[in-house]
Amino acid sequence: MAFDKRDIKRQKKRLQLRYGLEEPNKLGFTEDISATGIFIKTPVVMDPGKILFVEFRLADASTILVKGRIMWAKRVPQSLLGKVKGGMGVHILSFERGEEEYRQLCLRWRR
């Protein structure tokens, strides 16, 4: 039986986002988030080890911009994306903008 080695509680929540290597220009969705990472559900994955920018635009018009490292990636055809877990696990390195809003988002989804 495998155990999850992460100590941080991840919250399952779908939120639209944009991501990219130079700028956030590709569309994706969260499957879950935590204080230290994000799982991006997308058929367009990039190689582990790459630095990625992830941008969330919240309902109140605030923006969160995160810089993170891709820790793992699994390519899945778009037609199977709803049935098979595909996308990228991203470890947050820093916040370019909106750190407090992101922390509040994680806390709000816990309830």
CATH class of the region 11-99: mainly beta
- Highest mean pLDDT (candidates 6-15, 80-89, 101-110): 101-110
Enter the pTM of the model. 0.81
Once rounded to an integer, what is the mean pLDDT over residues 90-104? 95
Looking only at the bridges linking them, the beta strands covering 16-20 and 51-57 are antiparallel
Query: Alpha-carbon distance 87 to 104, whole Å?
Result: 25
Query: Alpha-carbon distance 24 to 27, whole Å?
Result: 8
